[in-house]
Structure 1
Amino acid sequence: MKQLVHHFKTGKTVLEDVPIPQLRKGHVLIQTRRSLVSPGTERMLVEFGKASLIAKARQQPDKVKQVFDKIRSDGLLPTLEAVFRKLDQPIPLGYCNVGTVLAVGEDVTDLQIGDRVASNGAHAEVVCVPRNLVAPVPATVTDDDATFTVVGAIALQAVRSLSPSLGETVVVIGLGLIGFLTAELLRLNGCHVIGFDVDEAKNNLAQQRGFATLATHTDPVKAVIAMTNGVGTDGVIMAMSGQCDDVVSQAAQMSRKRGRIVLVGVANLHLNRADFYEKELSFQVSCSYGPGRYDDVYEEQGHDYPLAFVRWTENRNFQAILRFLANGQLDVKPLIRAIVPYQAYQTVYDTIGQRNLPGITSLFQYDESAVFSSAVLLRVATYPAGPATIGVIGAGNFTSSVLLPALQASGATLKSIASANGLSATLLARKFGIGESTTDYRHIINDPSIDLCLITTRHNLHARMTIEALQAGKHVFVEKPLAIYDEDVKQIIEAKQESGRLVMVGFNRRFSPYALKMKALLGGFTSSDVAMNVVITINAGAIPASSWVHDRVVGGGRILGEVCHFVDLTTFLTGCRVASVCMHAMGLQPSETSDSASLLLRYENGSTGAIHYFSNGSKAYAKERIEVYSQERTLILDNFRKLTGYGFRGFSTFSGRQDKGHTEQMKRLIRLIRNGSDAQEVDPLISFADIVNTTRTTLAALRSLRERTWIDIEPVA
């Protein structure tokens, strides 16, 4: 199928060939009939992509500050590489979709194949959308009208945020698509609406629809005060984007005392206290489609909010807009500029920012006779067949920015890559010369020509996919963590023993040249004979509480997902395994997903480890610091950029660019498999017993937090 994406790096908008998305639990697979172009959001994205690098930086000053902080902590080259990788990630366009249900996922019981639905699906021939972002289209509503469901919900939520009462006067600043729909909904609410836009064609359209408007050459504040007999407007809804400090000030000046202002656009704000103080004005930002937006529990997991407590969720807002359309209370036909065949998309984007054009937006029309089978495989490139052929399951940011470049540098043979939505896998396949992309990971697991499955999905899938790959006779490289529950570890051990295949986890830091140098200075692989103290401090930085990483069921929490790296590194340096662990976390009642914690490790040879993992530090400070104390000698590794030794004869410092060992780990792994060493795990690769010990240590750390005691680590049989 084809999907429309925008490339920030080149500024080009293109149709990409991608496999159809994989149907997931709680989701709906939809064949698109129409989709609506959002002239505000999509114009902003397209213009940002076309801007120069300096112009992009000027538009995002907060991101520029983050870049300078990263340069100070990680160095110039790694930072520049990260910036350009970010710009090289295309994004799908569109979020207003109408189509026919092709299939429904598990737990979806109220929709059937063939139903006509509206959703926030992208501009693509087939989309996979969570059930709570899908609404059935009434028979009396045309496809063209139904494409306004999602943008209508955005406008409706802005009106709900303002809470207007019958007879109030409301000024709508910005008569673009959302602004115009906002004005229509305010009128339905019994309000007197005054519209204003710098585009005269939009003002004229508003007048044709019976709205009062402000002339573009007049002072908007004086005009509104005059039109309200000196009282001022009861409310203002700002439905525009860009720099709007002056507009906020104008909105405040035209408001009556205790008036309300709602922002529904995308704007940089610097509020002037004086504008709001004397009138006691209220200011609110309206969030997208309504309650539930950006909440994974609602959107991805399908848990609805009780109607008695949350009357208007985003899905119920969708339904309300569709009822307005069905009853003829909301007329959107005057807003349609053109209906364009999907393949002719460029004609729309060529004029998306132009003013004084009829209508406001365009619709894409799709070929309804197209037939999409269950095929989920797309041939992308040719690849040289050979030993150590790899299939990659997962196509996220870490895969694209770290693992695939490392595999490429190792000379690996990459045959397949899988992602649930198909787009990310296809783009990476083209970039890295991977033979095929797919939305079905089992295609990779069941492919007899693939020797190694590389698993980089969300953490809750690691164990299951590892077991499936082992049972299929594959070697496995799985990104950390290996598993997020004790029972999963036991099942992996059993599958590993039965298959005799290699299992490797992405504990890359022991392969860094700095870690290898530390190991050599400490006595090489005989270091287990000497007890030592290892102290590791990780300035991890905060991740939003809503992130899947913090979900115990999906991500497992950052202790399981990230601290395992440093347990493995300590194990590597000491040369033996953890015997017991104790963990304390910040807060009076810390949870299993706390991400500011300290772990104390006791090793079998008497060594100790102290791992301090903090999320509440400054991002301007270096991220990782490793200290080792042994035999009146000290090693300090600063952020994998500089190693300093004290008390070592003939060694003082070793420095260079940041290197955390990803490429070296891949080189050694590929070399091992090509040499036909099946399960012959020898140094300097990681023994399976070490991997299990590290995994059990982090799981035991969570138990230690619950029980407030030391926990012994179960040995590997």
Structure 2
Amino acid sequence: MKQVVQNYKSGELALLDVPEPMCKAGGVLVRTLYSLISTGTEMMKVGEAGMSLIAKAKARPDQVAKVVQSVSTQGLSATYRKVSGKLDSWTPLGYSTCGVVEEVGEGVRDVKVGDLVACAGNEHALHAELNWVPVNLYSPLPAGLDAGQAAFGTVGSIAMQGVRRGEPQLGDVALVVGLGLIGQLVVQLLVAAGVKVVGVDPDPARCALAEELGASVCSAPSSGVVDAAVADITGGHGVDQVYLAAGGSSNEPVELAAKLSRDRGTVVDIGKTRLDLPWNAYYEKELDVRFSRSYGPGRYDPSYELEGRDYPIGYVRWTERRNLECFLDLVARGRVDVGPLVSHVADFDDAVATYRGLEAGELKAVAVLFRYPQPEAGTPVPATAPSATTSPVVPVVPQQRTASIPLGRPLRIGFVGAGNYATSMLLPHLAERADAELTRVVTTSALSAANARRKFGFAESSTDLDDVIDDPSIDAVFVVTRHSSHAALTRRALLAGKAVFVEKPLALDEAGLRSVLDAVAESGNDRLQVGFNRRFAPLLVEASQRLGRRVGPATVRYLVNAGRLDAQSWYLRSATEGSRFAGEGGHFVDTVSWLLGADPVSVFAAAAPGRQDLHAVLTYPDGSTAVITYATSGAARFPKETIEVLADGSVLRFDDFARATVHGPRRWASSRIPRGRDKGQAAQVDAFVTAARTGGPFPSSVASIAATTRATLAVDASLGSGATVRLDALAGAPS
């Protein structure tokens, strides 16, 4: 299918051929009929992409701060790879569409194949021929509503949420600053609510359009007309609300808002407006400044947008979807007229030229629609669609593994997942190898798959997992997806006879682990490696060698300064993705076990309230002990990982992959000038490819992988019971 994309590094726009998305449970696959260009938000993004790197940094100081933080914790080299990879990727455009339902995912009851729906979301309502849209981000069209008009649904919802934040009442007077697409819709919604509207915009044509659509008076901010109109309509008191629907770097909108507001009036920011509030003016009138967040309640909440959990109407009257439904109803009943806003309708094949025309100012427009090829009459479409799952639809016949790859042939690799870690820490090392061939990449997002194919040289890309698992030409599979899918995907790949590299964790519970172990037993295929990369870190390997072989038990202290995550991070979705330690703790357990040369036998854990900060005490067969302290409350600039190993009169001290020392009969210290924080990703990839190609041993046995996984899971079990957990008891317990 075709999709509009932009490279944020170069600014290049393209109409790209990408794989079609799969229809997943909890949503529908929609073939687009019309999509709307947001001439404000989208063109701002297009403009930013064309800036120099310095200009981009000035435009996004929040991202610069994240880069600086990443350099301090991950090192310059790793940060550079990560940032470069993110910049030099195709990014999608669009967030407001209308189309026809082509497939219905499991659990969807309110629409059927052939229904028209309006769709929302900058990840789900893209300028693309097909989109998968979750249930709370689409709305069926009211009877008689044209598909082109319905494509305004998302933008209309943004305007509606802004109006709701202002809480207008019948007879109020409002000022709308900025009469672009959002501003024109705000004007109409306010008029429909019985509010008198005064508009401000430097463009006379937009002022005339707003007056045509119901505004009382509109003019440029410097003309004096607006001031006089506000004084006349309000009797000199000032407007009840000001709606800021303007962008740009000028502070004039907020200054004008203070000037024309009444005492204790309300100022609502809908656009990306500069907000250097003049303190005296806002204080003297005690103005109430409010922000309007996108389409309404539910925005940026994954449980609402992705998992389909609606908010009870008694507690949240107007959600994203209910705003969308309401706006479509107003358009269908003629209370809002979007027709006069459409300046241009372009064929989708002309998308790039249309953007360039808007960017150059050759195409003057309030709103532009893309028109897509219509489905051919009589084209058969399935009545329902199976949901995309990570488990096999039909039983997979176990295949015995081959001992090695034929001499001279590269290892053919299928890759499942292409997120930040995969594209910055794994794929660059695979792409540069002559003995590995990147055969196919599969992701849930068509554009992510296309990006990975372009950047790393995959022969093919897809959104269908079966294209990797069921392809007999593929020798090895990398599983780099979200935690909850690892065990099922690993099981399928092992049963299909593939060598498997899976990112940690292997499993989130004992049942998941056993399903993988059963697959090994059933297939005889034990070619498995989990992405525990610390044991491959060159500096840690050297420090361990300098410490030398030990005779007596060792004591290990491992401090992990994990830091806090953004509240919306999927890592915090413990109900589906496990606890933070369950997801990440395997790294540290494996590192300790590798340093001690044995697998743990028991685990005891204690935690602060909330279980985010914890101590895990591990014991080993020879009497060695290790304490892993996992903390989220430390300083961001403190080293993330610090290890101390005490044994036989010597001490190894390891500081965050940058410095290491060994104190003992002979002292050793690494260079004071760190060579970057190499955490072992390249070496672990080399170990996997070598083992898979030659049929040689993998870095860890399946038994050792299972022990590390059980020890990691035992931390949560111990926190729940308050008791020590013996790992042999877990291994023997029924799942």
* TM-score normalised by length of structure 1: 0.93
Aligned to 2:402: none
Pair 1:268–1:61, CA change in 2 (3 A): farther
Aligned to 2:323: 317
Instruction: Give the alignment partner of residue 713 of structure 1, picking from 727, 731, 735.
Output: 727
What is the deviation of 1:93?
0.4
Instruction: Give the alignment partner of residue 302 of structure 1, picking from 301, 304, 308.
Output: 308
Identity fraction in percent: 40
2-structure distance, mates of 1:586, 1:355: 58
Aligned to 2:264: 258
Pair 1:306–1:404, CA change in 2 (3 A): same
2-structure distance, mates of 1:241, 1:627: 53
Aligned to 2:649: 632
SS at 2:20 equivalent? coil
Aligned to 1:399: 422
2-structure distance, mates of 1:385, 1:219: 80
What is the deviation of 1:714?
2.5
Asked if structure 2 preserves the Cα contact closer than 8 Å seen for 1:460 and 1:553, the reply is: no
**Following superposition of structure 1 onto structure 2, how do residues 120-199 of structure 1 map, counting pairs within 5 Å?**
120=120, 121-199=125-203
Asked if structure 2 preserves the Cα contact closer than 8 Å seen for 1:176 and 1:360, the reply is: yes
**Following superposition of structure 1 onto structure 2, how do residues 201-216 of structure 1 map, counting pairs within 5 Å?**
201-211=205-215, 212-216=217-221
Between 324-333 and 554-563, report the one with greater CA deviation. Answer: 554-563
What is the deviation of 1:434?
0.8
What is the deviation of 1:67?
2.5
Aligned to 2:712: 698
2-structure distance, mates of 1:201, 1:75: 52
Pair 1:435–1:372, CA change in 2 (3 A): farther
Asked if structure 2 preserves the Cα contact closer than 8 Å seen for 1:475 and 1:503, the reply is: yes
1-structure distance, mates of 2:462, 2:427: 17
Pair 1:136–1:601, CA change in 2 (3 A): same
What is the deviation of 1:640?
0.9
Q: Deviations over 1:38-93 (max 9, x none)?
A: 11111111011000001011112232233333334443333333222221232110
Asked if structure 2 preserves the Cα contact closer than 8 Å seen for 1:395 and 1:419, the reply is: yes
Aligned to 1:388: 411
Q: What letter is aligned with 2:11?
A: G
2-structure distance, mates of 1:223, 1:252: 15
Q: Compute the RMSD of aligned alpha carbons.
A: 2.3
Pair 1:295–1:385, CA change in 2 (3 A): farther
2-structure distance, mates of 1:325, 1:519: 70
Pair 1:224–1:554, CA change in 2 (3 A): farther
What is the deviation of 1:9?
0.8
2-structure distance, mates of 1:272, 1:310: 34
SS at 1:434 equivalent? coil
Instruction: Give the alignment partner of residue 286 of structure 2, picking from 280, 283, 302.
Output: 280
Q: What is the number of residues matched between the two proteins?
A: 697
What is the deviation of 1:268?
4.6
Aligned to 2:88: 88
SS at 1:56 equivalent? helix
Q: Deviations over 1:277-319 (max 9, x none)?
A: 2322211111111111121211211121222222211111111
Instruction: Give the alignment partner of residue 520 of structure 2, picking from 482, 496, 499.
Output: 496
Instruction: Give the alignment partner of residue 553 of structure 2, picking from 508, 528, 531.
Output: 531
Asked if structure 1 preserves the Cα contact closer than 8 Å seen for 2:198 and 2:230, the reply is: no
What is the deviation of 1:359?
4.4
SS at 2:357 equivalent? coil
Q: Find out whether 1:507 has 2:532 as its counterpart.
A: yes
Instruction: Give the alignment partner of residue 677 of structure 2, picking from 647, 653, 658.
Output: 658
Which runs of at least 4 in structure 1 moved beyond 4 Å after TM superposition? Answer: 219-225, 353-359, 370-376
Q: What letter is aligned with 1:463?
A: A
1-structure distance, mates of 2:634, 2:88: 29
Pair 1:72–1:477, CA change in 2 (3 A): closer
* TM-score normalised by length of structure 2: 0.91
2-structure distance, mates of 1:495, 1:220: 77
Q: What letter is aligned with 1:172?
A: V
**Following superposition of structure 1 onto structure 2, how do residues 229-628 of structure 1 map, counting pairs within 5 Å?**
229-353=235-359, 359-369=365-375, 386-411=409-434, 412-501=436-525, 502-523=527-548, 527=550, 529-587=551-609, 590=610, 594-628=611-645
1-structure distance, mates of 2:62, 2:675: 29
What is the deviation of 1:636?
2.0
Structure 2 residue ranges without an equivalent (≥5): 387-406
Asked if structure 2 preserves the Cα contact closer than 8 Å seen for 1:157 and 1:317, the reply is: yes
2-structure distance, mates of 1:547, 1:398: 15
2-structure distance, mates of 1:391, 1:651: 43
Pair 1:539–1:267, CA change in 2 (3 A): farther
Q: What letter is aligned with 1:293?
A: R
What is the deviation of 1:385?
9.4
Q: Deviations over 1:202-260 (max 9, x none)?
A: 12222333421133433688446524332011001111223354422331232111111
SS at 1:578 equivalent? coil
